[in-house]
Amino acid sequence: MLKELHKMGRRGPQVPVSGLEDRPISEILPKEFLREEPLSMPELSEVEVVRHFVNLSNLNYGVDNGFYPLGSCTMKYNPKINEEVAAWFQDIHPALPENRVQPLLELLYTLQQDLLEITGMDAITLQPAAGAHGELTSLLMAKAYFKDHGLLEKDTVIIPDSAHGTNPASATMAGFKVVTVKSDEEGLVDLEQLKALVNDHTAVFMLTNPNTLGKFEKNILGIAQLIHGVGGLMYCDGANLNGMLGWARPGDMGFDFVHLNLHKTFSTPHGGGGPGSGPVAVKKALEPFLPKPVLVKAEDEDGDGSYHWDYDRPRSIGKVRSNFGNILVALKALAYIKSLGGAGLREVGTMAVLNANYMRVAMEDTLPTAYPGLCKHEYVATAEEVKKRYGVKAQDIAKRLLDKGFHAPTMYFPLIVKEALMIEPTETETKENLDAFVQAIKEIVEEAATNPDVVLSAPHDTPVRRLDEVKANKELKVRW
């Protein structure tokens, strides 16, 4: 622990010298502004700090350590070249006059154009900091849109029961009522129930497509017609875009807006919990409501472009954060897109789906898919049968996978599947890795039958073993 390494008077790197004479602080500021309470920071040498964090890093597991089939998180490989080139832009101040940053704005504009082509949309903002932030931004835009159209009765957002928790949470933050629509036996939106729920209050239908079961909502065109029929908007949670990348576009299937997770589909690293980036792309009708500023291109008579942050957006919802967005994340995504191009992006979609289906089929005998049949980028297996037979739960299987060198799938999600294990391999995994994971699952289910204790008490070979979450919640020790 950092604090235990502290020794009063020890120092890390020096404060940069000024070349000025020191002046006592009392000559500069009156006492009323000055800190009186002692500041208790750990005082450490550089080598101790480096060792502390290097050794902590070795307790972690990242994509660079192995297979990370965390469903709905699209943990694909994070190419090193993206990190390299993005870092060249790290020392630029956002208040630099526009005429001094044109080459950077051109890159961002190119990214915008590429994302519009990828989604089939008309306009875009890079401002949102993460997927959930993109959802909130979108729903606030919807709010503004309906207000602008005088449709004040539009107060309800419909969300499938298989949706990410962020969807209802964002809807609430945006001031909408939330209504849930059930999934049918195929794992798709229950059309009959949806029809019953849709009415003049319906503001937005938030749909993740492909959904969290990995299913493509094959009735999407009908659903869109239904929602649009009552004047509602179709929102696409783009977290699962990887499952149709280059094959189908939200804009071509009736969606009015979509957020993207650059840290999923576009390979920017997740950093153990961010930064992500959640651009929102919209159809023309929603464009006026985009957060400001909007990055626009002006062409002069010679066809040369110049780029501007447009603040003159009277119907904009306003800023959703300071500055312009997670620029370095955006640049990594751009590098990724440029490394692939149109054909490469489609291949990503293809292979993500092939990998998922290959695993799904290979695991079917062991842990069956909750909703059988073709999936897109992911699928949800259920350990319900294993639990019934041997008392081994999805969580136990997940923990045992850690012993076998894999990250676990997403557990207990979506909520509609009992003992759910949600598995998303991504396209960057080799067939050998998929086979090894399936083999591990088989071994674990075998263990569950023959030696359940070894599974129930897993993990065994991790830096710590199973942790007491109840105690953590009860005692709430959240700082030293």
Partner 1 sequence: MRYVPHTKEEIKAMLEAVGLRNVDELFSDIPTEALLKRHLQVEGGWDEEQLRAYFRKAASSIPDANSAVYFLGGGVYDHYVPSAVDKIIALPEFYTAYTPYQAEISQGTLQAMFEYQSLICELTGMEVANGSLYDGASAVAEAVLMAMRINGKRRVLVSECVHPDIIEVLRTYQLGQDFEILTLPQKEGVTDLSELEDLSNVSCLVMQNPNYYGFLENMNQASELIHKAGGLFVAAVDPLSLGVLKSPHEYGADVVVGEGQSLGNHMSYGGPHFGFFATKMDYIRYMPGRMAGQTVDVDGRVGYVLTLQTREQHIRREKATSNITSNHWLMALASAVYLSLMGGSLPELGQTILNRSTYLAQKLASVGYPLWQRQYFFKEFPIKARDAEAVQEALADSGYYVGPVIDEHTLLVAVTEKRTKEHMDKLIELMEGLR
Q: From CA 469, how far away is CA 99, in angstroms rounded?
A: 53
Q: Which is nearer to partner 1, 165 or 389 (CB)?
A: 165
- State which H helix or E strand residue 233 sits in: strand 233-237
Q: Which is nearer to partner 1, 33 or 302 (CB)?
A: 33
Query: Measured from the CB of residue 297, what is the shortest distance to a copy of itself in angstroms?
Result: 28
Residues 43, 48, 364, 443: which binds a copy of itself (CB under 8 A)? 48
The backbone torsions φ and ψ at residue 456, rounded to the nearest 5 degrees and listed phi first, read -65, -30
Q: Which is nearer to partner 1, 168 or 238 (CB)?
A: 168
Q: Which is nearer to partner 1, 56 or 196 (CB)?
A: 56
Residue 221 makes contact with a copy of itself by CB under 8 A: no
Q: Which 415-444 positions form the footprint of a copy of itself (CB under 8 A)?
A: 428-430, 432
Single-letter code of the amino acid located at 261: N
Q: Which 392-411 positions form the footprint of partner 1 (CB under 8 A)?
A: 398-399, 402, 407-408, 410-411
Residue 246 makes contact with partner 1 by CB under 8 A: yes
Taking alpha carbons only, the member of 119, 145, 132 closest to residue 320 is 132
Q: Which is nearer to partner 1, 384 or 403 (CB)?
A: 403
Check whether the bond before 293 is cis (ω within 30° of 0).
yes
Residues 331, 363, 417, 440: which binds partner 1 (CB under 8 A)? 331
- CA distances (Å), 122 to each of 13, 113, 144, 273, in order? 49, 9, 18, 30
Residue 45 makes contact with a copy of itself by CB under 8 A: yes
x/- mask, partner 1, residues 457-476, rule CB under 8 A, reads x-x--xxxxxxxx-xxx-xx
Check whether the bond before 414 is cis (ω within 30° of 0).
yes
Taking alpha carbons only, the member of 406, 408, 381, 413 closest to residue 396 is 408
Q: Which 286-325 positions form the footprint of partner 1 (CB under 8 A)?
A: 291, 317-325
- Can you give the length of the chain in residues? 480
Q: Which is nearer to partner 1, 78 or 366 (CB)?
A: 78
In the list a copy of itself, partner 1, none, the entry touching 345 (Cβ below 5 to 8 angstroms by class) is partner 1
- DSSP letter at 100 equals G
Q: Is 411 helix (H, G, I), strand (E, B) or coil?
A: strand
Q: From CA 437, how far away is CA 363, in angstroms rounded?
A: 9
Give residues in contact with a copy of itself (CB under 8 A). 5, 7, 10, 13, 45-48, 50-51, 54-55, 58, 63-66, 77, 79-81, 428-430, 432
